[in-house]
Chain A
Amino acid sequence: GAVVSQHPSWVICKSGTSVKIECRSLDFQATTMFWYRQFPKQSLMLMATSNEGSKATYEQGVEKDKFLINHASLTLSTLTVTSAHPEDSSFYICSAEGQGSSNQPQHFGDGTRLSIL
């Protein structure tokens, strides 16, 4: 089946560091990728939707300059948390869907646990 690879799975870094998370679709072309954030014991919160070759669409309340999303190819999207602070610590999950499959199950990466000290 379709596979989405997310890397790294765990990051611990100092406050002020910028962290890049990669999301790759391994065996299909992902025209749309989604980035979610999940706080402990809560549901997934959609941060942004990115379509290949265009600017990401951010959900209300999500800072564009803080969470930079790049979707330069049909198999790769990146989320960069710029100048991360302890309040950015969270579980970040990406998902991808192929062309014409907007009603199909999104394929999820395994998530990235980000801890900012």
Chain B
Amino acid sequence: AQKVTQAQTEISVVEKEDVTLDCVYETRDTTYYLFWYKQPPSGELVFLIRRNSFDEQNEISGRYSWNFQKSTSSFNFTITASQVVDSAVYFCALTSLDSNYQLIWGAGTKLIIKP
């Protein structure tokens, strides 16, 4: 069975702090893909990153970075020097042949950045 767990329901930090959003996944497939999406209050989903299971290199994009650890089945997302505009709900998702490539979604983490 496939599953994505985002244990943090809500995180609140003060602007400029670093914050890490956790994502733990379960799958039997050896080939799979992991995603992070951002959903601001306006509702639209913004694609942030896609990572395949064979690429364990960590990625950095500006203030965003992702730590993929197959050994712990985790794909954590860190925002450095957070800003108020980062306030949103962040979803981690998984897809693979086992799910017929349908997205398996985590419950989401609501991130609140206080000024």
Chain A residues lying within 8 Å of B106, measured Cβ to Cβ, are 43
B80 at the interface (CB under 8 A from A): no
Task: Choose the segment among A12-20, A61-69, A71-79, A97-105 that binds chain B (4+ C-beta atoms closer than 8 Å).
Answer: A97-105
The answer, yes or no, to whether B44 is at the interface (CB within 8 Å) is yes
For the complex formed, measure the closest distance between the CB of B52 and the CB atoms of chain A, giving whole angstroms: 7
Give Cα distance in the complex from A107 to B44, angstroms.
11
Q: What is the CA–CA distance of A71 and B107 in the complex, to the nearest angstrom?
A: 29
Taking the nearest CB of chain A, how far is it from the CB of B54, in angstroms?
A: 12
Contact B47 A105 (CB under 8 A): yes
A104 to B106, CA, bound (A): 18
Task: Check B50–A104 contact: CB distance below 8 A.
Answer: yes
Cβ of B105 and Cβ of A110 under 8 Å apart? no
Number of A-B contacts (CB under 8 A): 44
Q: Contact: B91 with A43, CB < 8 Å? A: yes
Given A44-B91, A103-B33: A108 and B45 interface contact (C-beta under 8 Å): yes
Indicate whether B64 reaches chain A with its CB closer than 8 angstroms: no
Bound CA span A91–B37, Å: 17
The yes or no answer to A93 lying at the interface (CB within 8 A) is yes
- Please tell me if the beta carbons of B43 and A43 are within 8 angstroms of each other in the complex: no
Could you tell me the distance between the alpha carbons of A95 and B106 in the complex, rounded to whole angstroms? 17
Chain B interface (Cβ within 8 Å of chain A)?
Answer: 33, 35, 37, 42-45, 47, 50, 52, 91, 95, 101-103, 105-108, 110
Which residues of A are at the interface with B, using a C-beta cutoff of 8 A?
Answer: 34, 41-44, 46, 49, 91, 93, 95, 102-111, 113
